[in-house]
Amino acid sequence: MGIAFSEARSAVTRFEVGQPETTGNVIRLHYAATGDDGPVYRFCEEIEIAAELDRSPLVDGLVRLLALAASLSYFKAFAPITFAVPSGLTETERTFISQLITGGLGEFAIVNDLPTVLDPVIEAPAARAPDAPSVRPSGSRALVAVGGGKDSIVSIEALTSAGRDVGLFAINPRGPIEATARVAGIGLERAARRIDPLLLRLNGEGAPNGHVPVTAINSLIALITAVATGYGTVVFSNEASASYGNQHWAGRDINHQWSKSSEFEGLLRRSLPAGAPEYVSLLRAITEIRIARRFAGHTAYHAVFTSCNRAFRMSAAADATWCGDCPKCRFVFLILAPFISRDALLTIFGGRDLFADGGQTEGFLELLGVDGLFKPFECVGEPDECRVALDLVRGRDDWAGHPFFARPEVAAVTATDAEHESVFAWRGSEHFLSDELEAVAREI
């Protein structure tokens, strides 16, 4: 089957984004990999949202941005190749997709050793931006994206404690997301994203595969859902740490979390059509360790949350939780350890003590930023946060005498006084919050 894809791939010279369709509450996105004799592969992705969409320049503009963002799931199977939009791009849309490819496919480029992917050739005639209302949707309701982990829980509790009218949103929600909504006692607006099965088949046949800026896709689906269901604001929970990259490669800073970064948030806000809901990350000026400190007090969620990304893969079991052996599991274990009891932490991880597993020591050293080791390609915090967490755990009586801390390579790692202060500080220049939302975030 790999040979079949290889032969067909050799005939592909261009990737095309077709005109999206909207019918009722279903959006269909069309793509094609084409050659000199026409399409070699055609793809159709479907997104079903929670309510019927009234066609308008605003909705059309959001759907066009979604079609561009979701295209990268398919484009990567043929990259590097010309990226074409025969129907045309506005200047804003051209900037959006160009920066989305360059920033959002960095990890994919490294894994597949394809640096030219990050300098795309974009072919599209100039298009005129459609007219749209100049005012945002009325009402103060906030639609909060829920991922099943600690960050969105902290946002939910902060907003509801401040008296905000909050709804929750998720795409293809798994068990931890549904459980988070139940504990919060708030309704969940659901969307379904169905990737074309042909892409999955091609991946199995050897098509280049890897990370895409999925938060960009999810953000646009959330914005479209907000328009359809009457929310004036869409809230994500991307923190300051998400703007910290992984490594410098091919002359670029590569960040696994680029579509969660401040740079992307600013790009999307500038790209949205007039009249779109406000889009903002509540936790942008706060670090992971500060979020973990607040989450430790939300004990009602401790038994249901899961941050392990392996639990959210399409192939994962419906009841999957913590795998206990990945960078995300190690990071959450370390970052929570200073703030909850040892017994409570082990209960969250099904009785597993990740510090006691010698096979994971190097993974912890990666998180700590030990010389020569890169921050892993995962949604984890900055090395200085991890070093501060390690220092704080060492000071807890319930971890006293644990062999992990006596390992020479671990014992040699410490945080400076400046790091202890800075990781809990408010990073005021890194957010897009209104005065009202800034006041909410500062209380976290």
pLDDT digits (tens, 9 = 90+) for 183-199: 999 999 999 999 999 99
Beta-strand runs (E) in 211-254: 233-236, 247-249, 252-254
Retrieve residue 42's tokens: 């055609």
pLDDT digits (tens, 9 = 90+) for 109-130: 999 999 999 998 999 999 988 7
Q: How confident is the model at residue 263 (pLDDT cuts 50, 70, 90)?
A: very high
Q: Compute and round to an integer the Cα radius of gyration of the chain.
A: 22
Count CB atoms within 10 A of the CB of residue 193: 19
Q: What is d(CA 336, CA 291) in angstroms, rounded to the nearest whole number? A: 10
| Contact of 322 with 353, CB cutoff 8 Å | no
* pLDDT for residue 134 is more than 60: no
List, in order, residues 6 or more apart from 309 with CB less than 8 Å away. Answer: 326, 328, 378, 379
Retrieve residue 400's tokens: 């006293």
Q: What is d(CA 126, CA 330) in angstroms, rounded to the nearest whole number? A: 48
Q: Average pLDDT in the 126-144 region?
A: 75
Q: What is d(CA 229, CA 188) in angstroms, rounded to the nearest whole number? A: 12
pLDDT digits (tens, 9 = 90+) for 12-40: 999 999 999 999 999 999 999 999 888 89
| Mean pLDDT, the chain, integer | 92
| Contact of 367 with 331, CB cutoff 8 Å | yes
* pLDDT for residue 320 is more than 70: no
Q: What is d(CA 46, CA 26) in angstroms, rounded to the nearest whole number? A: 7
Counting Cα atoms < 13 Å in the Cβ hemisphere of 76 gives 28
Determine which of 146-150, 333-337, 376-380, 433-437 has the lowest per-residue pLDDT on average: 376-380
Q: How confident is the model at residue 321 (pLDDT cuts 50, 70, 90)?
A: confident
Q: How confident is the model at residue 314 (pLDDT cuts 50, 70, 90)?
A: low
pLDDT value of residue 429: 79
Q: What share of the chain is helix, strand, coil (3-state, %, to 5)?
A: 45, 15, 40
* pLDDT for residue 65 is more than 90: yes
* pLDDT for residue 1 is more than 50: no
Retrieve residue 36's tokens: 């000199």
pLDDT value of residue 147: 92
Retrieve residue 411's tokens: 């014992």
pTM confidence score: 0.94
Q: Average pLDDT in the 68-86 region?
A: 97
* pLDDT for residue 384 is more than 70: yes
pLDDT value of residue 2: 45
